[in-house]
Every structure is written in C-alpha cells, then in structure tokens.
C-alpha cells in the first residue's frame, strides 16, 4: 500500500510540486525507514533460527546447506543497502543537507532543500557522474542474485520465478524507447525529496526480498521431516457476520495434516476431541457479544526434537440473542424531562460495534448491552435517533434512523391530601396536611410534581373578614384557620394552582370541596 501511494505522489509531480507533496515524501521516507527496521528484525529472527540449528548437533547436518545460502543472502542484501545508503548521503549533502533536529525528536529531520532539482540530477545522469545507470544495474543484479539463492530448494525454480515476478526490487526502462528512461524518470526529473524517498523504498524492497528468500531457505530445513498423509480444502471466513450490502470475504487454502497424530489440542486452554488428526469443538452461544478463540496444538520442534505447543492466531465470533423488534407506529414519543428507557440493536452486530447518535436536543446515555436512557430538555417537538454499525473492515455504515415526537409530561390532577374533589366533613378536610399533584394512568411510574402555590376561597353566604388566602407552599397549615370558619353547605374553591415537574412549571385545573 505504501508503495502504491508513493507511485501516486510520483505521478502528482507531473502536475505540481507543492509543499504538501514534498512534505508527503518525507513522511513516506520515515515510513519506509520504519518498515526497514521491522523487516530487518524479522530477518534477524530467522537467522537466529538458523544459528540455533547450527548449534544443535541433531540438526546441524540438515541446516548447514541452507545456513550457507542464508548467510549469502544477508551479505548480498547488506552490500546493496550500504551502497544505496552511501548514495543517499552523497545527494543529501550535495542538496544542502537536512534541517537541525528538534530537541527530543529522534526522527530523521526533513531536507533543507527538498525541491532541489539540479545537484542530484548531475550526480545521476550520463552526462554528469553517471551514477544513475550504475544504480539501475545494481538493483537488477541484486534482485537476480537474491532470487537465485532459492533454486536448490524444493520447487526452487518455480519459487525463484515467483519471487522475481512479485518483488518491487526492479528498475526497468519503459518498453517504448521513445519514452524517458528509468534514470531520467525517477532520478533526474524528480525533486530531491522524491529521489531520497525512492532510494529508501529501494532498500525496503531489498529487505523484503531478503525476507522471502530467508523464509524459503528456513522452510527447507524441515520440509522433509514433515510427514502429513492427508489434505483438505479449507475456507477461512474473514467476517463471522455479514451485513446486507457488504461482501462475505474468506481465504481458501489447502491444509495438509497427519491422520495418525495423537497430539493434544487445546482451545482457550481446554482440551478438545481429536478424530483422525482433526480437532472438533462445539461451543454453546450465550448472550450477546464477541468471543475470542485461540488453539494450541502439541507438536515436536523439528530443530530440537523437544515437545512444543504451536499456537494459532486468535479467531473471533459473535453471539446474539434471539429477539423481535415490535413497536406501535403512533407511540414513538419521548417526554421532556424524563429518563426515557430505550433498547437499540442491529441484527448481526454486537453492541460494541453499534453506534447511536441523536439530534435536536435528545441526549442518549448508554447503559450497556444495547440499552440506553434518552433525555430531552427545552421546547422541541421532534427529533431523530440514528443508528450506524462498524463493519469488519473498520468502515461505518448507516443502519437507519427513527423519528420521535417530543412531548411534555401531561398536566397532573390536584388532590388535597388523599381527598379528590367532592363533599367531606370539615374535620376530614382540616385533618389533611399536604397538597399533591398526581398523574393518573401515565406510562411512567414515580413521576413527581410538587405544588408551589395555590389560592383557597371559602364560598359562603355569610359575611366574614376574609374569604381567600394565597399560599406559596404545598401544605394546608396556613389555610386551616380559614377552613375552620366553614359551615355545612359552604364550598372550598382552590385555584391558581402552580406545580413544578419534569417538564417545568404547570398550572393545574381548579377544584372544589363541599362541606357536609
């Protein structure tokens, strides 16, 4: 992928050498340098395996031939990389060198003149120092030298041809002789930043080919000691759950195995049944989530003859709860100020990969396992809840959107203590202490309102000093003296009732109580 993106940058040079493109060359150079380090570490590990084989009397004889070829591969690769490294140092120095490294920054600094087109051109072209043609020859010679080291391996000639075909370590002139040659295209007519990056990429290509060669040589140490007597075609899926509109991706391979093996096989540390060399597992699905499996198979280290456990790469699979989504189309309502519980899920997608968002003042709080609490504030009439899914390749796909009406909690009803509107003995009314606002047959339980203010009138035919009182509380204490003046047939009328609740302040309907 990095190689392809580098070629895109080269193509962009024909259009415009902007500062951004030059900066991109430096970033690619750092990526190639980092890639070289990782590949070199991998190659060193393979060489350590060769050394272990040479140091063991049991394996030295079958290792020696391949070890010699591996040493030669390392030598050819190092010679080429050193040659290119010196060439890079020469053109960087001719092009003005690099910027001073910032304190604490260990990365290679940028070039001082990344857009320079002259100094290195003279260094490479035939009319100058002619190092370009030398480099081109060196690249192609190194490719052939490294690939030739595998010809004595099993199926060696076919492997050599395959390595030569797939490697990026090549410098070939265009087939059309009228076109510019390789030197003029990539070295003469490219800025200094592009040429330095190309040389680093070439080192990367050499290291990668070296790794392929070492791997082939190492495999041939033990290839004859492997005694598999059966084979089977395997389909290995990349995705355990596939969404409509997405692709089912799988790898297909030919697996060889020993039907007589009596080795122990473990999955997540637990032994499994082995029949004719193949292990079998059956795991009941429980709950909703992603599960990881890793297999370990007992084998024999061909280098030492000692028992060893060979471990597989981890494999994930998903389990889901069987469920149905049922809803009434006209009941998509969220109430302002309340905690509105919701369950949101996408069939075939785990909660961890389900992405939920909302609009227009709807705030969602995840409770885990696909459960959410929605809360709305302000004066809004509608809003949307959107659901997306993170696919196996990391992409995000929209799964749909649901529109919700937003409504205030209904106005509650007034109650004097435990007395609704009606006729009561005066003593019964005076015995009450608090005024309440309650919701009758509402969808949510325990929705609370608090009376903040009310006005109480005593309606009587008699003349009394005052017949009303306004109270800024939810208690009856301040009005009991006025109620105490009531007689049979009088009416207590309560209005201007104000209460606070989840949706804010509300005004309740007036109520009447008649004295028996």
pLDDT at site 324: 47
Domain assignment present for residue 91? The answer is: yes
- Confidence label for 223 from pLDDT (cuts 50, 70 and 90): low
In this model, does residue 407 exceed pLDDT 50? Answer: yes
pLDDT at site 95: 92
51 and 200, same domain (yes or no): yes
Domain assignment present for residue 156? The answer is: yes
79 and 143, same domain (yes or no): yes
pLDDT at site 464: 85
What is the C-alpha separation between 456 and 476, in angstroms, rounded?
A: 10
97 and 158, same domain (yes or no): yes
- Confidence label for 15 from pLDDT (cuts 50, 70 and 90): very low
H or E segment and range at residue 77: helix 60-94
In this model, does residue 271 exceed pLDDT 90? Answer: no
Domain assignment present for residue 279? The answer is: no
pLDDT at site 134: 96
Q: Which of 407, 423, 451 is the last residue of a domain?
A: 407
13 and 152, same domain (yes or no): yes
Higher pLDDT, 265 or 95: 95
395 and 486, same domain (yes or no): no
- And the tokens for 475? 């208690």
29 and 81, same domain (yes or no): yes
Q: Which of 351, 382, 407 is the last residue of a domain?
A: 407
Query: Beta strand pairing status for 511-515 and 422-424?
Result: parallel
Domain assignment present for residue 299? The answer is: no
Q: Which parts of 267-391 fold into alpha helices (H)? A: none
Q: Which of 407, 439, 457 is the last residue of a domain?
A: 407
pTM, two decimals, is 0.45
Number of domains in the chain: 3
What is the C-alpha separation between 493 and 509, in angstroms, rounded?
A: 11
417 and 400, same domain (yes or no): no
Residue 387: CB atoms within 10 Å: 17
pLDDT at site 309: 80
Q: What is the DSSP letter of 160?
A: H
What is the C-alpha separation between 498 and 483, in angstroms, rounded?
A: 20
CATH of the domain at 396: 2.60.40.3440
Query: Angle between the 2-13 and 19-55 helix axes, to the nearest 10 degrees?
Result: 150
H or E segment and range at residue 502: none
419 and 402, same domain (yes or no): no
**Structural domain for 399, as ranges:** 329-407
64 and 172, same domain (yes or no): yes
6 and 63, same domain (yes or no): yes
pLDDT tens-digit map of 18-74: 677 788 888 888 899 999 999 999 999 999 999 998 998 877 888 899 999 999 999
pLDDT at site 251: 72
445 and 333, same domain (yes or no): no
Reading phi first (left if > 0) and then psi (alpha if -120 to 50, else beta), residue 417 is in left
Residue 269: CB atoms within 10 Å: 7
């Amino acid at each position: 992928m990095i190689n392809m993106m580098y070629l895109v940058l080269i193509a962009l040079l024909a259009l415009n050498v902007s500062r951004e493109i030059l900066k991109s060359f430096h970033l690619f150079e750092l990526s190639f340098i980092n890639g070289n380090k990782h590949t070199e570490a991998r190659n060193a590990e393979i060489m350590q395996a060769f050394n272990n084989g040479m140091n063991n009397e049991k394996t030295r004889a079958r290792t020696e031939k391949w070890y010699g070829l591996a040493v030669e591969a390392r030598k050819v690769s190092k010679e080429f990389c050193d040659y290119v490294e010196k060439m890079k140092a020469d053109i960087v120095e001719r092009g003005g060198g690099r910027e001073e490294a910032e304190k604490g920054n260990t990365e290679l600094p940028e070039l001082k003149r990344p857009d320079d087109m002259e100094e290195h051109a003279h260094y490479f072209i035939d009319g100058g120092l002619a190092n370009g043609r030398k480099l081109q020859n060196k690249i192609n010679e190194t490719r052939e030298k490294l690939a030739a080291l595998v010809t004595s391996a099993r199926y060696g000639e076919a492997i050599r041809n395959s390595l030569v075909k797939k490697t990026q370590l090549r410098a070939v002139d265009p087939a059309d002789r009228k076109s510019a040659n390789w030197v003029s295209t990539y070295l003469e007519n490219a800025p200094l930043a592009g040429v330095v990056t190309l040389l680093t990429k070439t080192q990367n290509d050499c290291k990668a080919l070296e790794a392929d060669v070492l791997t082939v040589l190492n495999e041939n140490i033990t290839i004859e000691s492997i005694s598999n007597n059966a084979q089977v075609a395997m389909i290995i899926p990349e995705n355990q759950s596939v969404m409509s509109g997405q692709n089912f991706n799988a790898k297909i391979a030919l697996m060889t195995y020993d039907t007589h093996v009596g080795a122990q096989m473990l999955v997540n540390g637990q032994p499994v049944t082995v029949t004719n060399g193949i292990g079998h597992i059956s795991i009941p699905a429980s709950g909703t989530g992603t599960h990881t499996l890793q297999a370990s198979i007992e084998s024999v280290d061909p280098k030492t003859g000692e028992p060893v456990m060979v471990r597989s790469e981890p494999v994930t699979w998903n389990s889901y709860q069987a469920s149905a989504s049922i809803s009434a189309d006209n009941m998509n309502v969220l109430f302002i100020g309340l905690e509105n519980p919701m369950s949101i899920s996408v069939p075939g997608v785990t909660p961890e990969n389900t992405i939920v968002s909302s609009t227009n003042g709807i705030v969602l709080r995840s409770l885990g396992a696909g459960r959410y609490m929605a809360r709305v504030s302000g004066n809004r009439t509608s809003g949307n809840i959107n659901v997306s899914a993170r696919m196996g390749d990391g992409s995000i796909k929209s799964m749909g959107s649901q529109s919700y009406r937003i409504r205030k909690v209904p106005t509650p009803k007034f109650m004097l203590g435990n007395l609704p509107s009606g006729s009561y003995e005066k003593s019964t009314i005076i015995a009450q202490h608090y005024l309440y606002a309650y919701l009758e047959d509402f969808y949510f339980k325990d929705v609370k309102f608090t009376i903040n203010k009310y006005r109480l009138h005593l309606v009587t035919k008699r003349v009394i000093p005052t017949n009303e009182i306004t109270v800024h509380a939810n208690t009856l204490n301040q009005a009991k003296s006025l109620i105490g003046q009531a007689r049979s047939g009088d009416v207590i009328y309560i209005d201007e009732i104000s209460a606070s609740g989840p949706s804010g302040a509300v005004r309740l309907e007036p109520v009447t109580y008649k004295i028996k």
